[in-house]
């Protein structure tokens, strides 16, 4: 019985790992979400992607999610994720995978760039689990937006209702902040390029 359970667990792990690799997840995500050894994951990665996973640290800062364009995409993802999480009994990682697929569908339908990588999406949910990021309702459109718990104020207006004057440029933002709790796009020191994990 135990043996059969572990076989089932293993096949579920492989299925998840393949789904995550196909979506472009980093090695660290695979290692923390499956019980598979690093060697097996590397082999799986090469088999699915035809190349080795890119190296480098995961993004550890919450700042990226608070810049204008990433915030809009992160908020879209969180809303999809919560919907899935509420309407189905699935484990967190499966909700992340499902929500990320729907996020990709939404960006394709609306012809938007894929700003949020699956690794960032995963990190975002972990930040929210840890209370390092929260969502707050926009006073104008009543949408839920990702925000810094320490910067909350009652008159929150989201980045869509109050666009910064140079909205859309993730890299070259300068000037004054638009919405009260929406930070200006920070030029990417130490960040992944937006499309890096989405290719
Ligand atoms: Zn709004």
User: Could you tell me which residues come within 8 angstroms of residue 6 by beta carbon, excluding any fewer than 6 positions away?
Assistant: none
- For residues 172 and 113, membership in a common domain is answered with yes
Q: Which SS3 state, helix, strand or coil, does residue 10 take?
A: helix
CA of 72 to the centre of ligand 1 (A): 10
CA of 65 to the centre of ligand 1 (A): 16
Q: What is the pLDDT of residue 70?
A: 96
Residue 14 lies in a domain: yes
Name the E strands within the chain. Answer: 134-137, 144-147
- Our count of domains for the chain comes to 2
- For residues 42 and 93, membership in a common domain is answered with no
Tokens linked to 80: 């999809």
- Print the domain residue range for 147: 59-186
Q: What CA–CA distance (Å, rounded) separates 191 from 15?
A: 29
CA of 2 to the centre of ligand 1 (A): 51
Residue 10 lies in a domain: yes
C-alpha closest to that of 105 among 96, 93, 114: 114
- For residues 118 and 146, membership in a common domain is answered with yes
- For residues 112 and 20, membership in a common domain is answered with no
Cα distances (angstroms) measured from residue 2 to each of 6, 33, 34, 40, 92: 6, 21, 18, 22, 24
Angle, alpha carbons 126-109-159 (nearest 5°): 55
Q: What CA–CA distance (Å, rounded) separates 30 from 171?
A: 29
- For residues 72 and 150, membership in a common domain is answered with yes
- For residues 140 and 164, membership in a common domain is answered with yes
Q: What is the pTM of this model?
A: 0.78
Token pair 């938007």 is found at 112
Cα distances (angstroms) measured from residue 80 to each of 71, 87, 97: 14, 11, 11
- For residues 32 and 65, membership in a common domain is answered with no
Residue 196 lies in a domain: no
Residue 71 lies in a domain: yes
Residue 6 lies in a domain: yes
Cα distances (angstroms) measured from residue 168 to each of 1, 9, 70, 160: 55, 43, 10, 11
Residue 13 lies in a domain: yes
- For residues 118 and 180, membership in a common domain is answered with yes
CA of 163 to the centre of ligand 1 (A): 10
Q: At what angle do helices 38-49 and 2-23 cross, to 10 degrees?
A: 50
CA of 132 to the centre of ligand 1 (A): 21
CA of 76 to the centre of ligand 1 (A): 12
Q: What CA–CA distance (Å, rounded) separates 191 from 111?
A: 24
pLDDT in tens, the chain (199 residues): 556 668 899 999 999 999 999 999 999 999 999 999 999 999 999 999 999 888 777 777 999 999 999 999 999 999 999 999 999 889 999 999 999 999 999 999 999 999 999 999 999 999 999 999 999 999 899 899 999 998 866 788 998 898 877 655 454 333 333 333 334 333 333 333 333 333 3
- For residues 149 and 75, membership in a common domain is answered with yes
- For residues 75 and 112, membership in a common domain is answered with yes
CA of 142 to the centre of ligand 1 (A): 6
- For residues 20 and 118, membership in a common domain is answered with no
Q: What is the pLDDT of residue 176?
A: 37
Q: What is the pLDDT of residue 4?
A: 67
Beta bridge partners of 146: 135
- For residues 87 and 137, membership in a common domain is answered with yes
Q: What is the pLDDT of residue 152?
A: 66
CA of 75 to the centre of ligand 1 (A): 11
Residue 54 lies in a domain: no
């Amino acid at each position: 019985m135990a043996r059969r359970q572990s076989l089932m667990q293993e096949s579920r792990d492989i299925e998840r790992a393949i789904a995550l690799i196909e979506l472009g997840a980093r090695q660290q995500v695979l290692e923390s979400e499956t019980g598979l050894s690093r060697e097996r994951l590397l082999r799986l990665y090469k088999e699915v992607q035809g190349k080795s996973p890119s190296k480098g640290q995961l993004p550890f800062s919450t700042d990226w999610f608070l810049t204008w364009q990433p915030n809009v995409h992160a908020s879209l993802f969180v809303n999809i994720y919560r919907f899935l999480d509420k309407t189905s009994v699935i484990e967190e990682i499966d909700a992340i995978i499902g929500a990320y697929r729907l996020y990709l569908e939404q960006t394709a339908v609306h012809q938007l760039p894929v700003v949020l990588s699956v690794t960032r999406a995963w990190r975002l949910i972990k930040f929210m689990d840890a209370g390092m990021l929260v969502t707050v309702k926009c006073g104008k459109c009543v949408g839920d937006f990702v925000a810094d718990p320490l910067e909350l104020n009652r008159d929150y207006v989201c980045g869509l209702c109050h666009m910064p004057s140079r909205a859309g440029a993730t890299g070259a933002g300068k000037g004054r902040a638009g919405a009260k709790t929406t930070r200006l796009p920070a030029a990417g020191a130490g960040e992944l390029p937006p499309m890096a994990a989405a290719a």
